[in-house]
Structure 1
């Protein structure tokens, strides 16, 4: 995703590198709220995108949350919290963009069909005995 000053919600991609696949599977995704997706907003709690530069991991098995905006499966990103220069972000994850477009810092997938395929693929990876996979967050 490109971080830039915009009044519109910015979209990028989440790429899942499936075991034994030569190319990643790509999903339309975003992180943060409209008007809070420019460089430096990564540390604005509840509005900015997930901070980059951390050795994140995603569990291959989600849990269910009734929280408004998630309302379904949630893949909790660790480490939790992350901090830099006195700033902290926490409770970040990957979920379907269930309510108002955008997120409070999580990575959200735009399309329900893509979200369902992502969950199916994560379940298949879990069945291989893999408990978590690395997540690299990069902005252009």
Structure 2
């Protein structure tokens, strides 16, 4: 069972162990929404929550972050044109295949993942 889930039909990113739920979307840009499946979360590659990130990855506070995710199945997604990840959905609504958190302030997600010990392996199931 995955640690986090993202349900495309409801736009809900959930992390029960962290006690959090966030509104989110994937697509419609690039190749559209993420394919369904299980992804490894790049816990050791989480960027800072900062204003020094592109506007597309910033929330309504002007801060943002990027958390890479890696498909646990065969796909070309993420191998051409950039990485896949979880980030605030800033700038124009929608993503190019990532999971974009649509909350005005996405710091609670960043806090939860940043406070998770670096040696903990996390997975996310996209449904």
TM-score, with structure 1 as normaliser: 0.65
Counterpart residue number, 2:66: 74
Tell me, yes or no, if the aligned pair for 1:81 and 1:89 is still in contact at 8 Å: no
Higher relative contact order (CA 8 A, sep 6+): 2
Aligned length in residues: 107
Q: Distance in 2 between matches of 1:49 and 1:79?
A: 13
Counterpart residue number, 1:15: 14
Which stretches of structure 1, 4 residues or longer, exceed 4 Å deviation after superposition?
none
Q: Secondary structure, in 3 states, of the residue corresponding to 1:118?
A: helix
TM-score, with structure 2 as normaliser: 0.71
Unpaired segments ≥5 residues, structure 2: 1-7, 59-63
Q: Distance in 1 between matches of 2:73 and 2:98?
A: 13
The change in CA–CA distance for 1:94 and 1:82 in structure 2 (over 3 A counts) is farther
Q: Distance in 2 between matches of 1:82 and 1:69?
A: 27
Tell me, yes or no, if the aligned pair for 1:80 and 1:92 is still in contact at 8 Å: no
Listed one character per residue, the Cα deviations across residues 6-26 of structure 1 (whole Å, up to 9, x for unaligned) are: xxxxx610001226xxxx521
Unpaired segments ≥5 residues, structure 1: 3-10, 37-45
Q: Distance in 2 between matches of 1:50 and 1:118?
A: 19
Q: Distance in 2 between matches of 1:58 and 1:82?
A: 16
